[in-house]
Structure 1
Amino acid sequence: MATPSLQDGIDKAGSPVKLLWKPNAEPWTPEVVEREYAGWRQEQTAWHESVAILNLSHHMFDMFIEGPDATRLLSDVGANNFENFAVGQAKQYIPVTTDGNIVTDGILARDGENRYTLSGIPAAQHWVQYHGEKGGYDVTFVTDPSSAFRKGGDPKLFRFQIQGPLAGDLVERAFGGPLPPTKFFHSSPVTLDGMHFHALRHGMAGQAGYEFIGEWQHSEAVQEALLRAGEPFGLVRVGALAYTTPSVESGWVPSPVPGIYSDPALLDYRKHIPLFGIEGQRPLGGSFFSENIEDYYCSPYELGYGKAISFNHDFIGRDALQRAAKDAVLRKKVTLVFDPDDVRKALGDDPGFVLSYSRNRVETDSGLVGMTCQSATLDPVGTILSLTLIDQEYAAPGTEVSVVWGEHPGHGTDPGADLGFPRIRATVQATPFNQHARTLYRRNA
């Protein structure tokens, strides 16, 4: 029996939105990692005030891309500049459709002259592999799914992130001295107790930090060494709940809706990828409901990736992005800071840990002006923050808006109906919300 494709799922449901709309779906968190170690509040505080260790080994898909045509393939289907892409460097990879809508982003690391690792949500990997196989590129693909989808066995790689104001002190203690000077999103080879791996200069909430990446066989020993080195600094392990929240502070939208569902020219692509993958199973929900899936698409310019786009080569979507570059971006990515009193009125006196990937309506007296992409409680801030795409005229810091907090039932109910959902006042602020991330973090990029 043939494995059902994404297009099979769309045809059976009747539309992409009918397939994906699943109000009140539980947000996914890595099941292999403990939900909490010290408690999510203490864990969030650690990367703001001291130092934290995050286990990133289990939640991402890795695709290892190798061959004489690896660079040409990635350049042909990605908007990034590959001319000065050094071995040991990583980039936010930006594949787009011919219409200029993002497929989804990913972290692309150059491991060698013709070797790359593409990590993250697997929609980007599916896009690259499809075009590599269809286009006859001389390249091989090896995929290591996340631990939630891997059918037994361990990951190929470990990833431990050390993050917070005391991260540098911990690293010096662990390695017996400072690591080699490394630019942002570049890595250096390091050795710890005879184990060889890489240190990527990277943090997720704007604080100083490193991401240590190496072969899984050294995972336990490396983690134990980092934990021992962190004891004098009060190192805190971060669980699966708190781990999901640094992206809200750092301004990274973790799961934009891939712009692949409606273009007739992508029919073969939708028939090629499986229904039971990220494109067919990642749910949509929230108070913002539209029967048209294209209302959920977004441009890389809206996501803040404009500086990473390069027109020095031909690639899928180049013409659309060139047109978009000449026009004013209609929406801007901002951070909404929810009014704490309104949060308590809507969610209870002690809302606890709130995490939502729902697309909620953002309104003013003029009506709909934006939609949320990810919302989460940040205990050090004292309220909920929400990464949001908002109309440019309402994007100035200090602008007052309201968020309609609820789950539209979907097809059959007027998208604009007043369903009695609570409205939470919120204030527009810049993104990244974390000032360090916004001003100093990339100064050595």
Structure 2
Amino acid sequence: MAAQKPSLQDGIDRAGSPVALLWRQNPAPWLPENIDPEYVGWRREQAAWHEAVSLSDVSHHMFDLYIEGPDATKLLAVVSANNYENFAIGQAKQFVPVTRNGYIITDGILLREAEHRYVLTGIPAAQHWVRYHGERYRYDVAFDEDPSTAFRGGAEPRIFRYQVQGPQAKALVEKVFCGPLPQAKFFHSIPVTLDGRDFRALRHNMSGQDGYEFIGGWEHAKPVKDIFLTAGQEFGIVHVGAWAYASASVESGWIPSPVPGIYTDPVLADYRRWLPLFGIEGKRPLNGSFYSPDIEDYYVSPWELGYGRSISFNHDFIGRDALLAAKDTAPRTKVTLVFDPQDVRGLGLRENGFHLTYARHRVEAGGALAGLTHQTATIDTVGTIASLTLIDKRYAEPGTEVTVVWGEHPGAGTDPDADLGFPRVRATVQPAPFDEHARKAYRRHEF
């Protein structure tokens, strides 16, 4: 008889606490799998979606959960805050699952493929949440998983995903398809055919610029990519590597992989015993200059993340009352911090080239804690480092000056508030999304 695999709860019990399980000093930053770090240099790759057109291959790092059956919509409506009354076939939504206390699990992209069939894509914490409730409470649904490449055991992906975006994306798409595609609203998809190959075009992107995400069977992956890269030469197309791709969300304002709010609620003990220890919930590390032994200090609300447009109270769902109560009281909001270039040079970060971290660094105003960074990266088009940050609303006005404490707290055994002599980096609050097009335009029109 095979040994039972350890659960998340087993890991917490052995470590002594959720933070003890997750805390790691200086972990390597996550990067998309099976993609070169750079193809033509991360600076050119970052510039491409602003100046010309870029192609990002996101076929390998996404986890897909297919949900199909008579109860598919019923299940999804119970476990998320989304509106399902106007959810059209072919439409996608940012999926917002929360705990009963109103904390985010993590988001994902939910695409409705048919009346009773959906696919949920992204970091697998949200997929775990859906599958657990579907199985635990015996909804009439079937699940089928296509893990990311890191967990496929050498198997090829089922589908390809290519993001084509930038000011020249429209011209490139019209050349490839010999004319304009049918109009599609933001986050709506349409069927397309290219050289006899059928796949889907979704109006979606990661950098805030116009474009599509093309999704289709893996057997068509190479020829479709080759067609776009060849046709795109006259438009200055750039194949985006892992470093530049990982930095795109800093500009577009999406915080990847917030800490799921699942580690402490006794009601979720059964869920933690269901989750594998070596899944995303047990392996995504915590680090940075901010340290707290209480994992709840890392939990976040979808209101803080800016997901209000995706929340609907027209149905009952897990966490509804808590979300409703927090609607106007969430203390923090999402901003972009732009680091002072001189201070960045003083740290030696700029000279070392590209820098990326998901660390929770302390953000201070007047010497007091004002917020936490969540994703930080060198943005060459800005000329310095920028960081997506959740900050107290008192300090969220653009132009406000704050400081970022730059360092790695050693964790347990050292006072969380100890002055460890870490350098302070001056930073200025700016809006999130930082990219003006992402903030003001790209959700509003058809393409």
Name the TM-score class by shorter chain. over 0.9
Once the two structures are superposed, the pairs formed by residues 132-281 of structure 1 within 5 Å of their partners are 132-281=134-283
Aligned partner of 2:122 in structure 1 is 120
> Are the equivalent residues in 1 in contact too, given 2:262–2:268 (CA < 8 A)?
yes
Identical positions, percent: 66
Equivalence map 1:373-384=2 (5 Å):
373-384=374-385
Q: Alpha-carbon deviations, 1:320-356, whole Å to 9, x = none?
A: 111112x332000000000011001013561311000
Alpha-carbon distance, 1:56 to partner: 0.6
Aligned partners of 2:32 and 2:58 also within 8 Å: no
| Structure 2 residue ranges without an equivalent (≥5) | none
How many angstroms apart in 1 are the aligned matches of 2:111 and 2:184? 15
Amino acid at match of 1:280: G
| Pairing 1:22-421 to 2, within 5 Å after superposition | 22-325=24-327, 327-348=328-349, 350-421=351-422
Question: Which shifted more, 386-395 or 219-228?
Answer: 219-228
Q: 2: CA distance between counterparts of 1:349 and 1:437? A: 26
**C-alpha separation in 2, matches of 1:237 and 1:14:** 45
Deviations 1:246-288 (A, max 9, x none): 1000000001000000000100000001000000000000001
Q: CA deviation at 1:140?
A: 0.7
Contact 2:199 2:215 in 1 (8 A): yes
Separation in 2, partners of 1:65, 1:367: 46
Q: Distance in 2 between matches of 1:334 and 1:409?
A: 27
CA distance in 2, matches of 1:306, 1:29: 28
What letter corresponds to residue 425 of structure 2 in structure 1?
I
Aligned partner letter, 1:42: R
The number of equivalent residue pairs is: 444
On the 8 A contact 1:108/1:119 being kept in 2, the answer is yes
Q: Helix, strand or coil for the counterpart of 2:303?
A: coil
Deviation of 1:366 (Å)? 4.3
CA distance in 1, matches of 2:430, 2:184: 31
After superposition, what is the alpha-carbon deviation per residue over 1:339-391, rounded to whole angstroms, capped at 9, x for unaligned?
01100101356131100000000001141100000000011111111000000
User: Which residue identity does 1:384 align to in structure 2?
Assistant: I
Please give the TM-score of this superposition, normalised by the length of structure 2. Answer: 0.98
Letter in 2 for 1:20: L
Question: Could you list the runs of 4 or more consecutive aligned residues of structure 1 that deviate by over 6 angstroms after TM superposition?
Answer: none
Q: CA deviation at 1:79?
A: 0.2
State the 1:203 CA deviation: 1.6
Distance, in Å, in 1 between the alignment partners of 2:56 and 2:309 is 28
Separation in 2, partners of 1:388, 1:315: 28
**Matches of 2:9 and 2:205 in 1, distance apart?**
37
Deviation sequence 1:27-48 (CA, Å, 0-9, x none): 1112311111001111001111
Kept in 2: contact 1:344–1:351 (CA 8 A) = no
CA drift of 1:229 comes to: 1.2
- What are the ranges of 5 or more consecutive residues in structure 1 without an aligned counterpart? none
Is the CA contact (8 Å cut-off) linking 1:291 and 1:411 kept in structure 2?
yes
Please give the root-mean-square deviation of Cα atoms over the aligned residues, in Å: 0.9
- Alpha-carbon shift at residue 202 of structure 1 (Å): 1.1
- Inter-partner Cα distance in structure 2 for 1:108 and 1:307: 15
Alpha-carbon separation, structure 2, partners of 1:331 and 1:347: 30
**CA drift at 1:231:** 1.2
Q: Secondary structure at the match of 2:149?
A: coil
- The corresponding residue for 2:444 is 443
CA 1:274–1:192: 2 relative to 1, 3 Å:
same
CA distance in 2, matches of 1:435, 1:141: 39
Q: Work out whether residues 30 and 148 of structure 1, in 8 Å CA contact, stay in contact via their aligned partners in 2.
A: no
- Report the CA distance shift for 1:115/1:348 in structure 2 as closer, same or farther (over 3 A): closer
1:375-428 deviation line (CA, Å, top 9, x unaligned): 000111111110000000000000000101111000010111111111110000
Distance, in Å, in 1 between the alignment partners of 2:353 and 2:423 is 18
Q: Secondary structure at the match of 2:346?
A: helix
